[in-house]
Amino acid sequence: MSVGIVETQSVTFDTDLRLESGRILGPITIAYETYGNLNRDRSNAVLITHAWTGSAHVAGRHGEDDQKVGWWDAIVGPGRLLDTDRYFVICSNIIGSCYGSTGPTSINPKTGKRYNLSFPVITVRDMVRAQVLLLDHLGIDRLLTVLGGSMGGMQALEWATCFPERIASAVVLATSGKPSPMAIAMNAVARWAIFNDPTWKKGEYRKNPKDGLALARGIGHITFLSDESMWGKFGRRFSARDGLFDFFGRFEVERYLSYNGYNFVDRFDANSFLYLAKALDLYDVTWGCESLHEALAPVSAPIQFYAFTSDWLYPPYQTEELVNALKDLEKPVEYHLIESSYGHDAFLLEHEAFAPLVKDFLDRVSTGR
């Protein structure tokens, strides 16, 4: 069942956050949504951590007329994987984003103007520190689990390594402990597309730099799909509207990238896109440590990992590096490689494959078995 009509809430912390870069960010506003009820002993809280361009709006609708449900509605609601009759589910918008939490589109209280590029470079660890503020505010000492895919998985890893006492478990999907140079390269050309757009104006635009941002998102979509899923979805079909020998004639895959790219311009800020792309590329679970083993040593909660065979953005071998290091350290770890042609997108599309496994894992965690 759906969680029904929901509302995004917001809280502002007057504290300053000391970022990994050494810069100070404050005040910090966090937009969040919650579903279900916190139980008496505050032991049923689940944090969903979202990916690059996600938001706090995981499930339900924002009004009767809202045509679209939240981005991971399929797994949150009464009777669903994250059963809201049982769990208190929270999702907060990451800092740096543009969906209500402090980011480059926010007003810098010191200048009264939008931060734009005066916003500090942030890391995934900074995002998690901001989430800690929220949990303190909600009076939750310990999460039953933190669950996320892609950049959401990176956040879950940071919870497990930096705040091990505050989670009872973690579920990490389609992620990387350190994005590959291939993943960085794809983000690099996406950034470049925005930098090339004269309407971007070094971040001082009034209107989103349309063509550059659309192209950047188009490049992103390539990384979310796979060779196999593209054959299935588009093959070599040419747009029925275009002539094969028209200079501007397009293949279906080309139309798809363009369509989704331009749609994105209406919903996401270019500077936020750039800051979050940077956070992705900079992400390294060993940040501040000498080795992967040192970085993972503090982990105490059991972690369940998922990788997807056709994910070429964060390929399975990257998850396996983490799993093997945790096994070396004799940490409680579980790994599932899911056969899927959907590429990186699989973590959003293959919930039927992983939901029973996650459910079983959470049952075990809840009952302490």
Residues identified as active-site: 150, 311, 344
Neighbours of 240 (CB within 10 A): 6
Residues 350, 352, 356, 358, Cα dihedral to 10°? 30
Two structure tokens written together for 234: 């588009």
Q: How would you label 310-331 residue by residue, b for 16+ Cβ within 10 Å and e otherwise?
A: bbbbbbbebbeebbebbeeeeb
Beta carbons of 51 and 41 less than 8 angstroms apart: no
In the block, tokens 């007329």 appear at: 65
The correct pick among 185, 259, 293, 339 for binding a copy of itself (CB under 8 A) is 185
235 binds a copy of itself (CB under 8 A): yes
**CA distances from residue 337 to 121, 308, 319, 325, 330 in whole angstroms, order as listed:** 33, 6, 9, 17, 20
Q: Is 117 in the site for a copy of itself (CB under 8 A)?
A: yes
Given the rule CB under 8 A, which of 30-38, 43-51, 75-83, 196-204 is the region that contacts a copy of itself? 196-204
Closer CB to a copy of itself, 19 or 51, in the complex:
19
Does residue number 107 form part of the binding site for a copy of itself (CB under 8 A)? no
d(CA 159, CA 161): 6
Instruction: Select from 33, 158, 197, 269 the one that contacts a copy of itself (CB under 8 A).
Output: 197
**Does 289 contact a copy of itself by CB under 8 A?**
no
Residue from 43, 105, 142, 192 touching a copy of itself (CB under 8 A): that is 192
Shorter beta-carbon distance to a copy of itself: residue 2 or 286: 286
Count other Cβ atoms within 10 Å, centred on residue 130.
23
Nearer residue to a copy of itself within complex by CB, 77 or 212: 212
Report the residue number, 70 or 212, with the smaller CB distance to a copy of itself. Answer: 212
Options 181, 207, 240, 368; binder of a copy of itself; rule CB under 8 A: 181
> Rounded distance, CA 174 to CA 155, Å?
12
Contact between 244 and a copy of itself per CB under 8 A: yes
- Cα–Cα distance between 199 and 337 in angstroms, integer? 43
Contact assessment for residue 314 and residue 187, using Cβ atoms and an 8 Å cutoff: no
Does 253 bind a copy of itself (CB under 8 A)? Our answer is: yes
Q: Smallest distance, Å, CB 43 to a copy of itself?
A: 38
Contact 52, 94 (CB under 8 A): no
240 binds a copy of itself (CB under 8 A): no
- Residue pair 47/143 in contact (Cβ under 8 Å)? The answer is yes
As measured in angstroms, the least distance from the Cβ of 226 to a copy of itself is: 8
23 binds a copy of itself (CB under 8 A): yes
Local structure of residue 118 (DSSP, 8 states): G
Contacts with a copy of itself by CB under 8 A lie at: 20-23, 117, 120-121, 178-182, 184-186, 188-189, 192-193, 196-198, 211-212, 215, 218-219, 222, 225-227, 230-231, 233-236, 244-247, 250-254, 257-258, 274, 278, 281-282, 284, 312, 315
